[in-house]
Amino acid sequence: MTRYRFVESPVGRLLVAGDEEGLRAVLFQQGPKAAEPEADWELDEGVMPEAVEQLAEYFAGERREFSVKVAPRGTAFQLRVWQELQRIEYGETISYGELATRVGNPKASRAVGLANGQNPISIIVPCHRVVGANGKLTGYGGGLPIKEALLRLEKGRSGLFGL
């Protein structure tokens, strides 16, 4: 049974969900892809305390790597993309083309972009670290201002919360 809770953060309200296998979701409650819990999920304000604590440490600038066990659900290709996202270093960005190369299919940047956009575990699986080939910010489920704020936090720049 997947259980969920809502968590307030500097980038807005987050839906955090998990089960015995691990963290299933960190989803934005606002922005272009505002998410709601699945119909069969159960509200539990105590679920995934380690993930919530690690997110708080990240936002405080005290955590660069997450150690919570993630268990996203997706296709084999999506899972490969999401696994590769976790290898992008804190404070670094790569292009969709580079991500496609890293998953073994340099011509699949569009498919990689679609998989990146379906990532159910925002922030912890850092899809915000993928940018356009020209270095410009492109779509993000929480909205581009949040993507920019997360990247500023990771670059050590002030103004994270001046959204």
Distances (CA, A) of 121 to 82, 107, 117, 159: 9, 25, 11, 24
Residues 155/91, Cβ–Cβ less than 8 Å:
yes
Best CA proximity match to 112, nearest among 83, 70, 142: 83
Q: How far apart are CA 58 and CA 52, in angstroms?
A: 10
> Which residue, chain included where needed, has tokens 């069969």?
40
Of the candidates 127, 130, 146, 160, the residue annotated as catalytic is 127
Whether 127 is catalytic = yes
Q: In the block, which residue shows the tokens 């968590």?
A: 7
- Cβ atoms of 82 and 41 closer than 8 Å: no
Residues labelled catalytic: 127
